[in-house]
Amino acid sequence: MLVSTPLHGWTLYGPRLPETGIPARVPGCVHTDLLAAGVIPDPLLDRNELEVAWVGRSDWRYRTQLPAGQGHERTDLVFDGLDTVAAISVDGRPLGHSRNMHRSYRYDVTGLSGVLEVDFTSAYAEADRLRAELGARPNSYPEPFNFVRKMACAFGWDWGPTLPTAGIWRAARLEHWSVARLAEVRPEVTLRADGNGHVAVHLIVERTGRKPVTATVSIAGLATHVALEPGQDTATVEIIVPDADVWWPRGYGGQPRYQCRVVLSSNGSALDEWTRRVGFRRVELDTSADEHGTGFTFVVNGRRVFARGVNWIPDDIFPSRITPARYRERLGQAAAAGVDLVRVWGGGIYEDEAFYDVCDELGLMVWQDFLFACAAYPEDEPVRAEVEAEARENVVRLMPHPSLVLWNGNNENLWGYVDWGWQRELAGAEWGEGYYLDLLPRIVAETDPTRPYWAGSPWSGSWQQHPNDPDHGTTHSWDVWNRRDYTGYLDDVPRFVAEFGWQAPAAYATLRRAITDEPLWPDSPGMLLHQKADDGLGKLARGLTPHFPPPADFDTWHYLTQVNQVRAVATGVEHWRSHWPRCTGTILWQLNDCWPVVSWSAIDGDGREKPLYHELKRLYADRLLTFQRRDGRLVLAAVNQSRQAWIGSIELRVVHVDGSMRGHTIPLEATPDSVSLVELPTGIEDPSRELLVADCDGLRATYFAAAFRYPKPDFRIDVDEESVTVTANTVLRDLLLQADRLSPDARTDRGLVTLLPGESVVFRVSAEVDPATVPGAIRCIESHER
C-alpha cells in the first residue's frame, strides 16, 4: 500500500539570518518564519509593511534531511505547493525546477538520501526576467504579477499589502509505493432527468512494471471492478445510483453527499486508495436572449436561482496560515448572513480542499475563477505551458465538489482590453484572450463537462457587445463608488451583478490593534498605509457629502462611513432583487479581508463583522420588503425567494416625527420565486417631517425623503449582563451598538436598526457588559444629516 511520510525538520537560510539559519515551518512561508524568529516585525501592523519590503526581493533556501525509502519499489518527493520559483536538489544533485505556485510537483527520488534543498529565487527577479524576454504587458497595478504564476494579490491590491513571499506553502512529503499508484482520479458526477445519479470515474495509473492491476470503484453500496492489463494505464468506470439523494444550494433543500472510493490492487493486495465525498446535482447556465438582452441565470436541478453572493479573497495575505477551522468560521459567517454563492476571485488562489468541503456541507455554491486578474497576460512559453498544467490539475482536483457550479476564465481582463487603453500598449501582442476563449474552455469541456464555463467577469458573452454591457451577461458596477453616488445603482438593471461595493473602515478594535497612531485619524500615517484604494479617502469623503456634513472627529467619521457602506449596498441589492427575473444575482465585493484595512468587506481582517454584515442578513433573506420606484411612482416590492407562497397583511404607516401616524392594511400575496409590486394607498405629505414604514411578518421597510429632518435623538438604555436594550422616545435612524467598543472580544447580533417612538430593540452581546461603557458605544443619525 502507498505510504505517505511528511517531511519535517526544515531550516531556513537567507539574508540577515545567522549562518546556522532559523527553524522553518512547512507548510509555511518566509515571512511567517522570520516573524516567529523575531527577525522582522509583524508586517500587518502600523507601517511595518514598508520595513519588510526587502524580504520579497531576496532569495531563500529551505533545507532538511531526505531519508532513504524503505521496502518499496518507488519513492517520490511530492510538493503540493511551492511559492514560487525554486530549484530542488539532493546533495547538490538537481531534481527539477518550479515556477508555479498553483500546481504540485513530483520527483522520483528512489534510492536517494541526503540533504534536500529548495532554493527560492525572488518572484520579482523571475517576473522581471520574463518581462524583458517576452515584452511588457499592461497591468492595473505597478507590480509585475502577470509574469509569474503566483498569487497576484501578494504583490498588493487596492485592499491588500505588498508582501510577496516565498516558501513551501503546502504539504511536502515522500510517497513510497510499489507496482502501481493512482496518478489521477477524475469523477464526473451528474444527476439524470430520471432522478438517478451517474458517476463516471476516469482513472490514470502510474506503474513500476507490467503487473496487472484492478481498480474497484464503490459508491452508495455499489461497486464495479475494472482490470488494467500490462501496458494499460487508463480506464473509465461507470456506476448508476438509483433515486439518488439530491444536493441543493442552501435554502433550496439538503446537502446529502456520498462517499466515492477507488481502490487500486494487485493479486488481492491494495496498492493505493482515493476517497472523496461527492453530490448529485445538475447545474446549467441559462444565457438565452430575451427582450432585455442576454440573460445569465444559474439553474440548479431545474430550478432558476437568484444568486445571493459574495466575492472571496484569500483570508490571509500568507495563505499557509489559513486553517480548516478558519475556513469553517468565515464560510459559516457567510451562510448565516443568507449567502448562497461564493465567488473565488481570480487574483487569489485555488483554495484548500477544506474550503470546498465546507461549501459542500453548507450548500454554498462556488463560482471559481481561473487565476487571472486586472492585467494582460503573456501567452508565450514558458507561461502558456504553466497555465495549461495549472488549469488541468486544479479542474481535476476540485471537480468532485458538488458546490462548484461555474468555471470563470478571468477577472476584468476582457473589459480591460476594451476600456483601459491596453490595445495601444499591446501593439498586437497576445494578452490572454487565447486563454479565456480557447484554452480554458477546451480544458473544461475535456476534463469537467458537468459544469458550465464563462469566459470572464464581466463578460457579455460575445465581442458583439461591450464586455461590461449591463444588458448582457455579467456586469461589474464600479462607476458607482469610483465616480458616482450610490444612488447611481438605480439607473439600470443589470442581468447579473458580479461585483459592486462601497468602502468602510474595519471595526474600531481591529484598527486599534493594528495601528498605534496618536491621534487616530483617517489620514494619520498608519491609517493611510491601511487604505490601499486609489484616492480611497477622497472617495469616502465624496460619498458622505450628499448625505452628511463633514465629520468633526474620528469616531463620527468611522460611524458615518459604516452607515454609508450599508446604505450603498442596500440601495443596490434592494433595487436589483426587486427586478427578478430580469436581474438574477448579486455578488458583493467583498466578504472578507486578508489584513486590517479600510476596504469593501463585510467582515474585517480580524474576523469582526461590520454593520454591513448584519445588513446582508436582511438583504439576502428569502423574503424582503423594499420601497422602490416604478415609472416615477413609489411602490412596495415584496420579494419572495422562498419555496412557499407569501400570504399576509402589510401594515403601512405614515409616521410623523412627533409620533403620530396614519395607517392602512394592505393584503399581500406573492407566489414562490416572484416579486409582488404593491401600490400604496397613501404617501408622505411633509417630506421633512414624515417617513413611510411598512411591516409584514416581522419584516420592515422604511422610506425617508431626502428632505427629512431628524429630531434630536432621545432614548433610554437598559443594560444587563449580556444585552443592551434601547427604547426610543423619538425616531432613531441607523441606531448602532459597536460591541467591540465595550470589549475587543465582544460581538453583537445586530447592526443598524431604525426605531419609531415607543419601540425597543435588544442587542445581545457575547461578553459581559459594563454599563459604564455602553453610552460611548451607541450611535445614531443626528439631526445634522443633510
User: Which helix or strand (DSSP H or E) is residue 63 part of?
Assistant: strand 60-66
Please give the backbone phi and psi of residue 325, each rounded to the nearest 5 degrees, phi first.
-65, -35
SS3 of residue 644 by DSSP? coil
User: Which helix or strand (DSSP H or E) is residue 619 part of?
Assistant: helix 611-619
SS3 of residue 773 by DSSP? helix
Question: Known catalytic residue: 759?
Answer: no
> What b-and-e string marks burial along 501-540, b requiring 16 or more CB atoms within 10 Å of the CB?
bbbbbbbbbbbbbbbebeebebeeebbbbbbbbeebbebb
Paired strand residues for 160: 157
143, 412, 433, 690: which is the annotated catalytic residue?
A: 412
- Listing DSSP states for 700-715 in one string gives EEEEE-TT--PPPP-E
User: Which helix or strand (DSSP H or E) is residue 501 part of?
Assistant: none
- How far apart, in whole angstroms, are the C-alpha atoms of residue 613 and residue 749? 10
- Listing DSSP states for 384-431 in one string gives HHHHHHHHHHHHHHHTT-TTEEEEE--BSHHHHHHHSSHHHHHTT---
Residue 658 carries which side chain, given as an amino acid letter? D
Residue 691 carries which side chain, given as an amino acid letter? L
Cβ neighbors of 456 (< 8 A, separation 6 or more) are: 408, 409, 410, 411, 412, 413, 414, 415, 436, 467
- How far apart, in whole angstroms, are the C-alpha atoms of residue 410 and residue 419? 16
Q: Which three cell numbers stand for residue 107?
A: 520527483
> What b-and-e string marks burial along 346-381, b requiring 16 or more CB atoms within 10 Å of the CB?
bbbbbbbebbbbbbbbbbbbbbbbbbbbbbbbbbee
- How far apart, in whole angstroms, are the C-alpha atoms of residue 385 and residue 377? 13
Which positions are catalytic? Answer: 412
